[in-house]
Structure 1
Amino acid sequence: MKPETDFDRGTAVRRVGETGDRFQAELRTEWLNRGIVNGGLLLAVAARALGERLQEGSPHVDPFALSAHFLSGSAPGPVEIETSVVRQGRQLSTGTASLIQTDHKGAQSERVRLVGTYRDLDTLNDEVFTTATCPDLPPVEECVSTETASAEMLSLSGLHERLDLRLDPRTTGWSNEQGPSGAGVARGWMRFRDGREPDALAMLLASDVLPPVSFDLGAAGFPLTVQMAAYVRAKPAPGWLRLTQSTRNYAGGFLEQDVEIWDSKERLALQARHLIYVVPNGD
């Protein structure tokens, strides 16, 4: 039996009753990012629960195309995930998941609503026709480790104690005297510190771990993901993941953040797009 990893503990779900559509999970403090639970981790939790529901009577075990709306910020503590099956076909199965949290007053709030389509990624053929190019990153040892961040920043982000994240120094000017470039780009390498190898669920987390591109734009405020779409294109090979994200349009306080994840074989394994609201300082 494989040893349980930080990520597997952080995304573990358990069914309420022997059968049924409801699951429970515990959002852990070690996945906080700036005081709230990381959105990629929330997506992975909801996707794991929905995957377990859809696997009943179906070979479709892998998240393939996901759309998630983030309705409110999540705090550490217990959550319930309500799932439903929309359709189970020969190639694809689709369902929904709602992640619900109860506050200290007993009021329930829906945090995330997910619509997900699943399939067996092992059945994808090997044909690839693409104009996408693998990002040209400096070697891992020449990139900036998030361990070098200030003690205050690290105290707000237990996430980085679980991840080995190395940032392309050409995209970190916002964090030093160089200043933001204005290009709206972030790039870097990622792997788990405990040696866990990447898979489809891990890439959902990885799609939300780089510094938001609003930092590189110099946009003041707290960036929050409102909606996210993710497409898993392949099972990632073992080893480091290359992450890149960018934006082309920031208007009215909102920007899109396009994400690509490439595996160690330089294969495009995930594409995602976030809609981000940059909450003005003081709001």
Structure 2
Amino acid sequence: MSELDDLLRVTWGRAADGGAPTEAEAALGDGWAVGPAVNGGAVMAVAAAALGEAFAGAGHPDLLTWSAFFLSPTAPGPVHLQVETLRSGRTVSTGQVLVLQDDGGGRRERARVTATLADLGVMAEPAHRAPAAPTMPPPEACVPARRDGSPLAAAITILDRLDVRVDPATAGFAAGRPTGRGELRAWLRLADGHEPDVAVLPLAVDCLMPVAFDLGVAGWAPTFELTGQVLGRPAPGWLQVRLHADTVAGGVYVEDADVWDSTGRLVARSRQLAGIRVPEGGLPPRAG
């Protein structure tokens, strides 16, 4: 069993009325954390896994589109999932997952994920039109993102689960030289060799360092809401991820993510609204 399989393992409770269960438990280990909180991509992946199991019997096991609201930081440890079917149709099914956690004073909602699922072999084939993957050096010529790379990275335990190679053209932030363009490009795969699949994609769009780093603003950039789409089942091999931010307003910014598989097919994309702490003097100017 891979580390991702272990993360996505959901234990269902027994339905009181004899129907399908709607309550489940999962464990978000401290190996998927960014500082004191579990990475949002891991939280979304677990919620999507629960919905995939709930709708598998209807022939809709694959995540198609989803929206996640992050209401409070998820601490490493057990979570309770409340799963609700909103609609089960012939081609798609839609449901909602409340991710709850005991904080000592009762269950507190950490995230709420609403998603539509389908059979991607039917809904996402063939691919007709999509942007091409960016031109990047091969993974071995890119900059590995490791926990020993900086004091900030030391607390990002999820880096032990991932193999991330950042395009040198967008890695200047690591040496204190952000470009100011608001773009990061990287190769991505799971460190334990688990080949990419649909279950990886909610993690892939939200597991890299915030693109705010390339805007010259380091530190935690909490996600308020993220909307994503799955556009195909990824082929085995490396994923290419491009993050881009062109809009910053007050204490928030918009981050877009695109994910291509090893064949160059766009397999997922997302847009999120996240927090940012812009220095008093404003954003640093663009390099060059």
Could you tell me the TM-score, scaled by structure 2's length?
Answer: 0.91
Cα offset, 1:133, TM superposition: 1.8
Q: Secondary structure at the match of 1:97?
A: strand
Q: Deviations over 1:174-206 (max 9, x none)?
A: 1104x1111000110011111101111101111
Equivalent residue number for residue 216 of structure 1? 214
Equivalent residue number for residue 72 of structure 2? 72
On the 8 A contact 1:222/1:280 being kept in 2, the answer is no
Q: Deviations over 1:76-135 (max 9, x none)?
A: 1111000111111111100110000001x2322101101100000111364433351211
Cα offset, 1:36, TM superposition: 1.0
What letter is aligned with 1:32?
A: A
Equivalent residue number for residue 259 of structure 1? 257
**Aligned pairs (5 A) from 1:1-283:** 4-17=1-14, 19-56=20-57, 58-103=58-103, 105-124=104-123, 126-130=125-129, 132-147=131-146, 149-150=148-149, 152-177=151-176, 179-219=177-217, 221-279=219-277
Change (3 A) 1:277 1:197: same
Could you tell me the TM-score, scaled by structure 1's length?
Answer: 0.92
Structure 1 stretch displaced more, 44-53 or 14-23: 14-23
Aligned residues with identical type, % of pairs: 36
* 2: CA distance, partners of 1:276 / 1:255: 6
Change (3 A) 1:125 1:49: closer
- Gaps (5+ residues) in structure 1? none
On the 8 A contact 1:254/1:277 being kept in 2, the answer is yes
What letter is aligned with 2:26?
A: A
* 2: CA distance, partners of 1:172 / 1:148: 15
* 2: CA distance, partners of 1:138 / 1:279: 32
Q: Secondary structure at the match of 1:55?
A: helix
Change (3 A) 1:239 1:220: closer
* 2: CA distance, partners of 1:171 / 1:189: 12
* 1: CA distance, partners of 2:184 / 2:156: 18
On the 8 A contact 2:100/2:109 being kept in 1, the answer is yes
* 1: CA distance, partners of 2:107 / 2:269: 32
Cα offset, 1:220, TM superposition: 5.1
Cα offset, 1:211, TM superposition: 1.5
On the 8 A contact 1:187/1:210 being kept in 2, the answer is no
Equivalent residue number for residue 285 of structure 2? none
Q: Deviations over 1:152-179 (max 9, x none)?
A: 33431111111111001111111104x1
